[in-house]
Amino acid sequence: MAHYKHKVFEEETSSMGSVHLTEGVTASSTHIRFYTGKPKNIWSGWQNRTALEKALIGVSLFMSLLLVIIFLNPMSTEQCIPTVNPAPDIYEESDSYVSTGQEYCMKETCVTTAATIIKNMNTKSDPCQDFYKYACGQWIKTNPVPDGRSMWGMFNELEMNNQLIVKNSLEAIPLNTTNKAELKAKMYFTACMDPNNTIETLGAKPLIDLIKEIGGWNISGTWNVSSWKLQRTLETVHNRYNMAGLFYWMVGEDDRNSSRHIIQIDEGGLTLPTRDFYLNVTANQKLLDTYLDYMTTIGTLLGGEPNSTRDQMKKVIEFETRLAKFTEPDEDKRDEEKAYHIMPISELQNLAPFIQWNHYFNAAFRLVNRKITSKENVVVYSPSFLSNLSSLIDEYSKSPENKTVINNYLVWQTVRAVTPYLSKVFRDAYKGLRKALLGSEGGEEPWRYCISDTNNVLGFALGALYVRDVFNGQSKKLAEEMINEIRTAFKDNFKNLKWMDRETLIEAEKKADAITDMIGC
């Protein structure tokens, strides 16, 4: 798992009010570059060539020699008789390439794909001056950004086509199917589509009931500050309902020992995508005002008085701004080795004593009959954040007014996560903030949102449906062959890595062989 997120706020797949504003593209994947070692001499370079490369080099040399002979022979051009090969059947469907004397794929899928590529090109453009325009110019001309979208590309188009395939697959599942996973996916999608108008009928009631379960909200109803405990609220919001707020934690594979899993804790708690939105007020004042308007609208829809709601939400933004000030910039979190800090819970307690950590974790692990002791090791990825957070909580805990701010903030984190699932008036409230962040209000069909949401929750079930309907015949076999070729090339490149000793090479090959492909699983 990535231990930090580059909170780049890209085009959301949903236009119906998804407000998980910190979700974006994680950019922590490892980039592997292949370096071709420079041979010491021609012979060693030839030895490093693959059989295919040797064959191609031989053919190239032969053709070069043939061209020289042709040009040197003045009679060759007069005696040259063109040979016309019969046109192959481009729609021939077979398991192998059509034999035309050249290794070209002439199956229908190959031809139509090639035709699509040619159709998207702007061949009038000079590729040496603007290759992007040459390769994609015609596609850009014929595919303007659709209404409700802030960006558009071929991957978006492909995604929309795939959504339609999955939708048809879901709707075709019989209710008496024995596949429980597929039935759950169908039921989830159907509930999202709300054929009986249940969501509109219920309105705000499901969220109001949830707020009561959490302990109440000063904005929308009664709340007793004298009986409020941060410990209890965090255990409820985090461990029972899996909502955000202040920090986040999970159990994941230990970065330094992949054979074990360990509790991992990292900073969190900002609603807007990056800390800069809070700290650079001059550049982002309009966005912050729009965010406040959105918060006020949601609070009012849940029963809050408009003026009081706005004042209280202002204080929530101020609290988030305080969090942003000691949230580490993304560029300071790229060295995961440096960010890794392992410690027992007893040490974590000394670092950030604003809650009883042992009690907090046991509240979660009690559900799986696991007891956590103060000796249990945890990995903290931002000790300075937790230390500063503890000081901030101590400061705010000194007065009833500021305790109210903390609770308002925590409940707001739950409210903003749930509103996409409420009635239309809640979803529409998000459009203004979405436009401020992305440049568009959205506007795709509800069924597309429901497909995306179902995929987020039951992705493996939808993946199985897609594979069953789309991957057939040789598709899986070809994909597996491609992966094996990539793996082989990866392993072959090891010999060019001069820094890798023999023992490391053996372990690297074992690791490459242990990679499991999930094509059509």
Query: At which of 377, 407, 422 does a domain end?
Result: 422
Chain mean pLDDT for the chain: 79
Residue 518 predicted with pLDDT over 80 = no
Question: Higher model confidence: residue 45 or residue 337?
Answer: 337
pLDDT for res 34 = 26
Average pLDDT rounded to a whole number, residues 160-180? 87
Question: Higher model confidence: residue 51 or residue 446?
Answer: 446
Does residue 47 lie in a domain region?
A: no
Residue 482 predicted with pLDDT over 60 = yes
pLDDT for res 256 = 86
Does residue 137 lie in a domain region?
A: yes
Does residue 460 lie in a domain region?
A: no
pLDDT for res 50 = 52
* Domains identified in the chain, total number: 3
pLDDT band at 274 (very low <50, low <70, confident <90, very high): confident
Residues 484 and 417 in one domain: no
- Which of 73-87, 109-123, 222-236, 486-500 comes out lowest in average pLDDT? 73-87
Residues sharing a CB contact under 8 Å with residue 444, sequence separation 6 or more, in sequence order: 14, 15, 148
pLDDT for res 457 = 87
Residue 316 predicted with pLDDT over 90 = yes
Residue 150 predicted with pLDDT over 80 = no
Does residue 251 lie in a domain region?
A: yes
Query: At which of 403, 422, 441 does a domain end?
Result: 422
In DSSP terms, 253 is beta-bridged to 261
Does residue 161 lie in a domain region?
A: no
What range defines the domain where residue 334 resides?
204-422
For 189-225, b/e burial (b = at least 16 CB within 10 A) is bbebbbeeeebeeeebeebeeebeebbbbbbbeebee
Q: Are 15 and 438 in contact (CB under 8 A)?
A: no
Average pLDDT rounded to a whole number, residues 437-443? 72
Q: pTM for the complete prediction?
A: 0.69
In three-state form (DSSP H/G/I as H, E/B as E, the rest C), the secondary structure along 320-387 is: HHHHHHCCCCHHHHCCHHHHCEEEEHHHHHHHCCCCCHHHHHHHHHHHHCCCCCCCCEEEECCHHHHH
Question: Higher model confidence: residue 477 or residue 88?
Answer: 477
pLDDT for res 63 = 57
pLDDT for res 492 = 87
pLDDT band at 53 (very low <50, low <70, confident <90, very high): low
